[in-house]
Amino acid sequence: MEIVESIELMQQRMARTRAAGSTIAFVPTMGFLHDGHLSLLKEGRRRSDLLVLSIFVNPTQFGQGEDFDDYPRDFQQDCVLAQSAGVDIIFTPTAMAMYSTGYATEVNVSGITSGLCGASRPTHFRGVCTVVTKLFNIVQPHIALFGSKDFQQLAVVKRMTRDLNLPIEIVGMAIYRETDGLAMSSRNVYLNSEQRCQALALSQGITLAQDMVKQGEAEAGAVLAAVSSHLGAQSLIRPDYIAVCHQSTLEPQQQIDKDSVLLIAAFVGSTRLIDNGYLMDAS
C-alpha cells in the first residue's frame, strides 16, 4: 500500500494507472475509519483494479464553532484498516496544498443543498462539493463510493456529478450499523455511555416510522409526530430536523410513497448525529 501526500505525485500516478487501462475506484473520507468506511472500500476493491482511499479532514466543510479542531484522527490505525480492506493508495493531502494562498474557487449546488443539513450548516455542502470536485480531478476515478448515511451528501454529489458531466459513476452504499442499530460514525467516539444509550433513539425512530407505514400510515405528519415524541422522550437529545422527503429531490412530502425517506439530525449532548431510512420496502 502506498501513501501519497503530494497532489502532483498523485496526479502522475493516476495518469499512469489510466494509461495502463486499469480501473480506479475511489472512497473519499475524513479518516478515523470504521466498518462503514470499510464496507465502501470492500465494494470498491471488488469493482476495480486500483483502490484509492483519501483521508482529508476538509476545513471548508466545517462551519464556525463546529468540531474541525476536535475531529477524531488516528492515521496509524487508519493505515492498518485500509491495508486490511485492500486499499492500494491512501491519498492524504495537506490543507495547505489543497487550499493554497489565494485559493478562490468554490463549487456550489443549489436547491437540494438548502434544506435539511444545509439549513443548519449553510456553508457545509459548498465545502463538500468543492473538495469532492478537487479530489475527483486529482484521483480521476472511474467510480466513487459514498455512504447513504450522509443521504443528502450522496444526493448532492450525484447531482453535481451529473450537472458537471463528470465521467464518474457514483455508487451509494447502505448504512452500516452497530449491532444495536446505531449508525456507525466517526463522531460516535464523542458519546459518553449515557449519550451512547440515548443515541439509539435515532435508529429506533426510523424503525418506528417504518413499522407505522407497514401498518398502513400514509400521512407524513403522523409519522413525524411519533418520531418527534420518541426523540423528545430522551433528555440528552435535541433534534435539529426530522423530515419525510422525496429520495431524489429531497423535497418534503405530505403523503408517504415508495420514494419517501425519513431523515433525522439530532444533537446528542453536543454531538450532532444523522440517520435515515426509506419508509417503504424497508426489509
Positions annotated as catalytic residues are 37
Closest of 84, 9, 76, 2 to residue 41, by C-alpha: 84
Cell representation of residue 147: 455512504
134 lies in the site for ligand AMP, by CB under 6 A: no
CB atoms within 10 A of CB 83: 12
Closest CB to ligand AMP among 175 and 265? Answer: 175
CB of 40 to ligand AMP, least distance (A): 6
Closest CB to ligand AMP among 171 and 222? Answer: 171
The helix (H) or strand (E) run that includes residue 2 is strand 2-4
60 lies in the site for ligand AMP, by CB under 6 A: no
- d(Cα 266, Cα 199) in Å, to the nearest integer? 9
Closest CB to ligand AMP among 26 and 99? Answer: 26
Closest of 210, 183, 222 to residue 281, by C-alpha: 210
> Residues 24-53: x/- map of binding to ligand AMP (CB under 6 A)?
-----xx-----xx-xx-------------
Closest CB to ligand AMP among 57 and 256? Answer: 57
155 lies in the site for ligand AMP, by CB under 6 A: no
CB of 246 to ligand AMP, least distance (A): 20
- d(Cα 88, Cα 124) in Å, to the nearest integer? 29
- d(Cα 207, Cα 244) in Å, to the nearest integer? 14
185 lies in the site for ligand AMP, by CB under 6 A: yes
Residue 239: strand pairing partners = 266
Chosen residue from 175, 209, 213, 273 binding ligand AMP by CB under 6 A: 175
How many angstroms from the chain centroid is the CA of residue 255? 27
Cβ-count burial 210-221 (b if 16+ within 10 Å, e if not): bebbeeebeebe
Q: Using CB atoms, what's the residue nearest to ligand AMP?
A: 147
Closest of 266, 264, 273 to residue 237, by C-alpha: 266
Question: At 170, phi and psi to the nearest 5?
Answer: -95, 120
> Residues 186-215: x/- map of binding to ligand AMP (CB under 6 A)?
x-----------------------------
264 lies in the site for ligand AMP, by CB under 6 A: no
Q: Which stretch binds ligand AMP (CB under 6 A): 2-10, 175-183, 219-227, 252-260?
A: 175-183
Three-class SS state of 127:
helix
Closest CB to ligand AMP among 146 and 278? Answer: 146
141 lies in the site for ligand AMP, by CB under 6 A: no
Closest of 224, 243, 226, 237 to residue 267, by C-alpha: 237
CB of 221 to ligand AMP, least distance (A): 29
Which parts of this chain interact with ligand AMP (CB under 6 A)?
29-30, 36-37, 39-40, 146-147, 149-150, 173, 175-176, 183-186
